[in-house]
A and B are shown apart, each in its own frame.
Chain A
Amino acid sequence: MNRNRECIAMLLAGGQGSRLGVLTQTIAKPAVPYGGKYRIIDFPLSNCVNSGIDTVGVLTQYQPLELADYLGNGQAWDLDRADGGVHILSPYQQIAGTSWYKNTANAIYQNIPFIERYNPAYVLILSGDHIYKMNYNKMLQFHKEKDAACTIAMLEVPWEEASRFGLMKTDESGQILEFEEKPAHPTTNTASMGVYIFSWEKLRAYLVADENNPASSNDFGHDLIPAMHAAGERLFGYQFDGYWKDVGTIDSLWEANLDLLNPNVNIQVQDSAWRIYYQNTAAPPAYIAPGAKTRDCLISEGCSVAGAVDYSVLFSGVTVEEGAQVDYSILMPGAVVKKGARVHTAIVAEDAVIGAGAVVGAASETMQEHLEDWGVAVVGKGVVVADGSTVLPKEMISSGEEH
């Protein structure tokens, strides 16, 4: 079989996602559950497959076990290929010594031999931190039409968030005139999505140069792209106008889940033309008991609901007992809300148990006078919240803690 590929993808999945606190205590950020069925990494992986890219290197570093387990041989995404498919690329020991991935560009640098096995003309660099549906093939066509060295997917972000991103200014043809990584005082709100297509020959040369530069922090946005820009390479911005969300914080993860229920937000996961694939669990259909109230919510197979669920997302195997009330919340796989418990504005992680009569979080209406104290409450994986106890808004409880 011919191993040569026009374009392969390298997915940076090593991020710790420390701002997600207890949710990423034992798993890498790309493995965080999202949307009732998925994990974050399902989005870039499904985008690859739906775009016709069948070779994906997944670079892992932080807590790789669960992620590697989840990816398996890639079969869930149709990436179990005789040649190509999904490959987990962990840092490894070499004759010259052990080297962790120092940063994004260094992680790709260390995997140059992997990329060269496929002799690609183009390399797509992705991260495992974002929720979006995108046809990378269209972006690749754009890259080829422009004869670019590097194409960066970009979109408008709210001005107040702009300083968290790489920002760019382009001319009418899309050519990048200015590029600045996370500036303190943004002069534009056109941001990089962290999705890059490089012509491989160019990328290879700049990776080697970057590695040999002791002053470099070996980061794409901070070092490599500015170096290409300074050298006068053809860099283009590719406009994306769909839904895209960086789910790097508790608030953004909570919001991105509830976006699935918001009719004004354009992230359609019930889309047979652009399916998001995931590792399935063998659970029977959801059972909605007599007396249950299920309105404006997403409920997955394996759930059992006897209480009231409003504007929430229930992952597989969640139980909401009678008299319990759940609103504006995300209940991850296997979570249990016991009789009479109330969960408002919260993320309850996998297999956590909210004891009978316990109260987690608060509804925003009840806190109008102290709105600054209101926020998403988080109950970590496997935590048991005792009967009748309280978890305050914004509070975060991790496994191993008594509560």
Chain B
Amino acid sequence: MRANNVLGILYASSHENTVEALSGPRTMGSIPFGGRYRVVDFLLSAMVNAGISHVLMPTKSNYRSLMDHVGTGKPWDLTRKREGLILLPPFSSGDSKGVYTNRVEAAASILGFIRDADKEYVLLVDGNLVCNPDFGEMLAQHLRSGADITLAAVPGHAPALKNTLLIQTQDTDTLPRVTEIAVTGGDLDGLWAPHILLMRKDLLVSFIERAIDPTVMSFERDLLQENVERLDIRAWTLPNFVTAIDSVETYYNANLALLSTAKRALLFPADRPVYTKVRDEAPTLYGLNSHVQNSLVADGCTIRGEVHDSVIFRGVRIGRGAVVRGSVVMQDSVIGDNAVIENVILDKHVTVAPSSRLSGAARCPYFVPKNTDT
């Protein structure tokens, strides 16, 4: 189903504090992921692939890299005369204090944009989620069930994030009805709901308008948990690869999870391509003595050494005799000849000196910040 009657709202700054090493120089949404993407690319592309043509993207701080990345929205075909992508940095005026502290406050600060959008429905999503849902299907199910609010739901282990929803459902002819909602600190097993909410726009607007003090309100408690009996809330199970980034380790494992062909097929289905800012890189050159095994490699790299079980971003150079194992190497990093790195995350533009050695533990990667020369 074409979701062109839906306004998308993507919070680019969600849960940044959980990955300060990565989010220091940027927003959650602009953290590099999967060899050539930024985290925000996945949900933004999923929205566009469903036919959503109007997306609001509130940001909080350090949003320069996000602005640079999304630009005018061209890679997502969201550069439009009408609608399109609108990046919304904090704005201070009479009744708004500028930088907000929670999502309700953020929504309140952009209420004018929400009201003005000529859309009947609104889809709210968090920017720390890496998944590629079929939002057209979610909308179709939402309409068929007649729900007030549809939540995406994922069975399994909930991320260790504050305000994580664990839900109980009851089967119906259409989508299962949510009967209980617990607002938890996450890190528990069960059916959990990432912050992907679909509802009528007027329901969202009236909730925000009635919020006397948005700074103490939350969607989780005050919109969902509080109204679990009064509103018809349904759960739509995400038949998908879903990661909610809640720590550097989760980020690392989610990158390496893409080495599984089955998981890549879930995140990159042929009919829902993931768009990103293009760099017009040349193809990657694999040198005469290179040896690459079980790895994802983006364009524009030169590989002269060994790479095992790793994710290599665009424009990375790996020198002769160098060995890279179990690592995530972000764009334009350089690994000198004969250097060895193992279980490491190299942020962008890191230079690893020739013949040096860096290693982390298998479940606890060693992180090297942006622009470091080791």
Contacts and interface: CB of A to CB of B under 8 A. Distances in A.
Interface of A: 35-37, 75-76, 261, 269-270, 275-278, 280, 282-292, 294-301, 304, 309, 313-315
Nearest to B268: A284
Contacts of A315: 283
A286 B282 contact: no
B212 interface: no
Interface string B273-289: 11110101111111111
B283 A314 contact: yes
A294 B286 contact: yes
A372 B150 CA distance: 69
A300 B283 contact: yes
Nearest to B278: A280
Interface centre among A275, A285, A286 (most CB of B within 10 A): A285
A352 B250 CA distance: 39
Given A287-B264, A289-B294, A295-B290, A270 B300 contact: yes
Interface centre among A280, A292, A296 (most CB of B within 10 A): A280
Given A285-B34, A290-B293, A301-B298, A296 B288 contact: yes
Contact of A292 (B35, B267, B273, B293): B293
Nearest to B286: A294
A35 B289 contact: no
B302 interface: yes
B34 A284 contact: yes
B285 A294 contact: no
A370 B166 CA distance: 73
A285 B274 CA distance: 11
13 contacts: A37-B283, A270-B282, A282-B275, A284-B264, A284-B267, A287-B296, A288-B307, A289-B294, A298-B284, A298-B285, A299-B284, A304-B261, A309-B286
A291 B295 CA distance: 11
Contact of A287 (B261, B267, B273, B283): B261
A284 B274 contact: yes
Given A285-B35, A299-B286, A270 B302 contact: yes
Interface centre among B284, B289, B311 (most CB of A within 10 A): B284
B205 interface: no
Nearest to A296: B288
Contacts of A270: 281-282, 285, 300, 302
Interface residues of B, number: 40
A276 B278 CA distance: 13
A269 B282 CA distance: 6
B297 A276 contact: no
Nearest to B308: A290
Contacts of B232: none
Given A285-B311, A289-B261, 7 more contacts: A36-B283, A37-B282, A37-B283, A282-B275, A284-B264, A285-B297, A287-B297
B297 A280 contact: no
A313 B36 contact: no
A8 B278 CA distance: 27
A174 to B, nearest CB: 33
A269 B280 CA distance: 10
A147 B283 CA distance: 42
B261 A286 contact: no
B346 interface: no
Contact of B282 (A36, A280, A287, A290): A36
B85 to A, nearest CB: 16
Contacts of B267: 284
B323 to A, nearest CB: 15
B274 to A, nearest CB: 6
B299 interface: yes
Contacts of B295: 287-288
A301 to B, nearest CB: 5
B312 to A, nearest CB: 7
A291 B274 contact: no
Contacts of B74: 75
Contacts of A290: 293-294
A27 B91 CA distance: 52
Interface in B184-223: none
Interface in B227-281: 258-259, 261, 264, 267-268, 273-276, 278, 280-281
A158 to B, nearest CB: 27
Task: List the 5 shortest-distance A-B pairs measured between CB atoms, nearest first.
Answer: A36-B283, A285-B35, A282-B273, A298-B283, A269-B282
